[in-house]
Amino acid sequence: MARGDSCLARVAVGVGVGGAVGGAVGAVYGTYGAIRYRIPGLLKIRHIGQSTIGSAALFGLFLGAGSLIHCGKNY
């Protein structure tokens, strides 16, 4: 990263990357769970969506917090 990057930009990138990774993992896990537990019809889509959004939010939160913690450190 460039030396002029602000802390807010680093945290935003962390949240974005965490959300993308969490969304992908949540979609895979939600699909697996929907198939494994034989969730019927349109409830399957709802289950996958909830898993995707929940994982994206959680991963984004943790990566954003980690980025915020690392903001003040100079390496």
Domain boundaries, the chain: 9-36
Q: Taking residues 6-20, what's their average pLDDT?
A: 95
pLDDT of residue 13: 96
How much is the mean pLDDT over the chain?
92
Task: Report pTM.
Answer: 0.85
Instruction: Classify 32 as helix, strand or coil.
Output: helix
End-to-end CA distance of the chain: 12
* Gap between the Cα atoms of 71 and 36, Å rounded: 42
